[in-house]
């Protein structure tokens, strides 16, 4: 079996150490240095959790010096970024994930898996994933069921076809998990490179304005071209869990806590402040039961206030 290596992207914008929005809201306003430390601590957390399960992890960046200053224990690799991303665009830095695909295409030996920073490894690797790697099968995370309640199938297809007419399968790939060998990433990067100019021209019109749109459209094209791929979410290699309200029907946490990699997009601060240890799940479940799990920055206003109402009703019952 090929050697599996896990990576994340942490892109730092030029000037005032501006951090790319691959780890925050869609605003183009740059976080401060203390926020970058929050992100590097999350990288450290992910690294420790993967190491505990026998896997190596590196952070790909354009500013290795800064990241090593903030988090010396991280394995940081500085790579070249050449994608022409328009300044001020929503999720500016997240789009540089595309350059990581080009870098993966040059790694001739091994199998690369790109993760988001706000993930943690909580269990051993599923045998299904090992078999996929053994046979050089690319893996991705299908989150179509999470996207439809927000946008609807027609909107998602219509949006992608604005810049990629071939993207008509109606499936959606999450940006937190994608893996393959060099040959796969070469095909993926080539396809994205051919549609990126059209994407940037219409990006502000799209329902989803991040790199997931580009990657999803390209993956659909590869699927239609006969490139075999495996949905890693179907056998628990990865699971996205929101501690806040969602429009889609979400499984209870008990149903996802046996996954290999847990993605917690609404709990970035919790991940940074609670370094991985053997009792991580117990700490997170306690956090879920507390008022701290309400994150106003990650929740739609209506859902947020419903969550507050439920918390107050729960407290009122306890006082009776």
Helices and strands in the chain: count of H runs, count of E runs: 11, 12
CATH code where residue 122 lies: 3.90.550.10
Is 103 inside any structural domain? yes
Higher pLDDT, 245 or 135: 135
pLDDT exceeds 80 at position 211 = yes
Distances (CA, A) of 38 to 41, 67, 199, 296: 5, 11, 31, 18
CB 20 within 8 A of CB 96: yes
Strand, helix or coil for residue 86: coil
Is 261 inside any structural domain? no
Please name which of 116, 99, 215, 121 lies closest in space to residue 160, comparing C-alpha atoms. Answer: 215
Tell me the whole-structure pTM to 2 decimals.
Answer: 0.86
Is 254 inside any structural domain? no
Is 129 inside any structural domain? yes
Boundaries of domain holding 222: 4-235
Strand pairing category for 4-9 and 12-13: unpaired
Strand, helix or coil for residue 6: strand
Q: Give the residue ranges of DSSP H helices in the chain.
A: 33-52, 64-70, 97-105, 127-134, 144-151, 153-161, 182-202, 211-224, 268-273, 280-288, 301-319
What domain count does the chain have? 1
Is 16 inside any structural domain? yes
**221-268 confidence digits (pLDDT tens):** 999 999 999 999 999 999 999 998 888 989 999 999 999 999 999 999
Is 33 inside any structural domain? yes
Is 284 inside any structural domain? no
Is 250 inside any structural domain? no
């Amino acid at each position: 079996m090929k050697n599996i290596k896990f990576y994340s992207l942490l892109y730092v914008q030029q000037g005032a150490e501006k951090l790319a929005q691959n780890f925050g809201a869609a605003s183009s306003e740059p976080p401060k240095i203390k926020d970058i430390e929050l992100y590097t601590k999350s990288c450290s957390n992910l690294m420790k959790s993967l190491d505990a399960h026998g896997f190596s992890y590196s952070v790909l960046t354009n500013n290795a010096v800064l990241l090593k200053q903030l988090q010396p224990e991280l394995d940081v690799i500085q790579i070249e970024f050449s994608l022409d991303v328009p300044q001020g665009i929503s999720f500016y830095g997240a789009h540089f994930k595309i350059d990581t695909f080009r870098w993966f295409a040059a790694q001739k030996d091994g199998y690369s898996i790109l993760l988001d920073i706000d993930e943690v490894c909580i269990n051993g690797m599923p045998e299904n994933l090992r078999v996929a790697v053994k046979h050089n099968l690319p893996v991705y995370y299908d989150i179509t069921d999470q996207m439809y309640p927000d946008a609807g199938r027609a909107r998602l297809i219509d949006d992608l076809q604005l810049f990629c007419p071939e993207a008509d399968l109606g499936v959606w790939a999450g940006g937190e998990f994608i893996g393959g060998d060099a040959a796969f990433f070469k095909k993926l990067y080539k396809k994205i490179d051919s549609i990126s100019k059209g994407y940037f021209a219409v990006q502000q019109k799209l329902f989803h304005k991040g790199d997931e749109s580009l990657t999803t459209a390209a993956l659909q094209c590869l699927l239609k071209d006969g490139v075999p791929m495996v949905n890693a979410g179907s056998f628990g290699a990865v699971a996205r869990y929101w501690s806040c309200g969602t429009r889609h029907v979400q499984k209870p946490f008990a149903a996802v806590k046996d996954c290999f990699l847990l993605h917690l997009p609404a709990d970035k601060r919790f991940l940074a402040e609670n370094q991985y240890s053997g009792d991580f799940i117990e700490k997170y479940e306690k956090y879920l039961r507390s008022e701290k799990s309400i994150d106003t920055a990650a929740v739609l206003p209506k859902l947020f206030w419903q969550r507050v109402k439920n918390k107050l009703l729960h407290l009122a019952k306890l006082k009776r």
